[in-house]
């Protein structure tokens, strides 16, 4: 039912573009860094949202995420639009549950910037950034040009904070539709 609320963009062969696959996986990575046991929560959400026809189990979820070409174990299989829709729905569902935490971390970050302090001065924000960096480095292929761009802690922290903002973007009115549309911005006519 939820899948039908999202339009099908005009993409070749009904396959998600590379940038959309990366963005979806990065958002899932940010959620895992925010929430211990995030990958288990994704599987719980699959059942709760009735998406078992698309994501049957943990292996299927891993295969869908492995369509991100920047991953160490990237699969060459394409990510279909229904599969991408299911992942976007999970992202938005989980992001709504993490709204308070996400908002707090972004507010703390803004306050630290005003005081010209590093994120290390706040335990929760520092922990999120540290986990995100660890997840990113352990799962992404360091030989890919797209990953080399994130070789420093500062660049990874910037990515992690940008993803936090995007997760907050997902929680608002029509968040699912807005995220879905943003994934294809510039990739469709």
Cβ atoms of 109 and 189 within 8 Å: the answer is no
- Name the residue with tokens 């369509």: 67
Q: What is the separation of C-alpha 32 from the centre of its chain, rounded to a whole number of angstroms?
A: 9
C-alpha distances in angstroms, 181 versus 73, 107, 114, 130, 157? Answer: 27, 26, 33, 30, 25
Give pLDDT tens digits for 126-178. 999 999 999 999 999 999 988 999 999 999 999 999 999 999 999 988 889 99
Give pLDDT tens digits for 28-73. 999 999 998 878 899 999 999 999 999 999 999 999 999 999 999 8
Q: Does 86 fall in a domain? A: yes
Q: Does 181 fall in a domain? A: no
Read off the pLDDT band of 75 (50, 70, 90).
Answer: confident
Give pLDDT tens digits for 84-104. 999 999 999 999 999 999 999
* Residue 9 backbone dihedrals phi, psi, to 5 degrees: -70, 160
When divided into structural domains, the chain yields a total of 1
Q: Does 9 fall in a domain? A: no
Q: Does 186 fall in a domain? A: no
- Residue 186: pLDDT over 80: no
Two tokens at 102?
Answer: 């996400």
Q: What is the separation of C-alpha 88 from the centre of its chain, rounded to a whole number of angstroms?
A: 8
* Section 7-17 average pLDDT: 87
Radius of gyration of the chain (CA): 16
Smallest CA-to-CA distance from 51 within 78, 88, 23, 79 is with 88
Q: Does 182 fall in a domain? A: no
pTM over the 0.95 mark: no
For residue 9, the tally of other CB atoms under 10 A from its CB is 19
Cβ atoms of 42 and 94 within 8 Å: the answer is yes
Q: Does 51 fall in a domain? A: yes
Give the structural domain span for 156. 16-173
Residue 71, beta-bridge partner list: 140
Q: Does 87 fall in a domain? A: yes
Sign, CA dihedral 134-136-140-146, equals negative
Read off the pLDDT band of 187 (50, 70, 90).
Answer: low
């Amino acid at each position: 039912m939820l899948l039908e609320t999202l339009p099908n963009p005009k993409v070749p062969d009904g396959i998600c573009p590379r940038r959309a696959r990366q963005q979806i996986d990065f958002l899932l990575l940010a959620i895992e860094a925010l929430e211990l046991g995030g990958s288990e929560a994704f599987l719980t959400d699959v059942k709760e949202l009735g998406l078992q026809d698309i994501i049957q189990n943990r292996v299927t979820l891993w295969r869908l995420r492995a369509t991100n070409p920047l991953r160490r174990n990237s699969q060459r299989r394409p990510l279909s639009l229904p599969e991408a829709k299911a992942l976007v729905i999970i992202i938005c569902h989980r992001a709504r549950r993490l709204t308070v935490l996400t908002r707090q971390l972004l507010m703390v970050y803004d306050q630290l910037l005003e005081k010209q302090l590093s994120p290390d001065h706040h335990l929760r924000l520092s922990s999120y950034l540290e986990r995100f960096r660890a997840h990113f480095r352990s799962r992404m292929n360091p030989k890919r040009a797209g990953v080399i761009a994130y070789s420093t802690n500062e660049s990874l922290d910037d990515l992690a904070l940008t993803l936090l903002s995007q997760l907050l973007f997902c929680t608002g009115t029509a968040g699912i539709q807005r995220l879905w549309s943003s994934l294809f911005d510039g990739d469709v006519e």
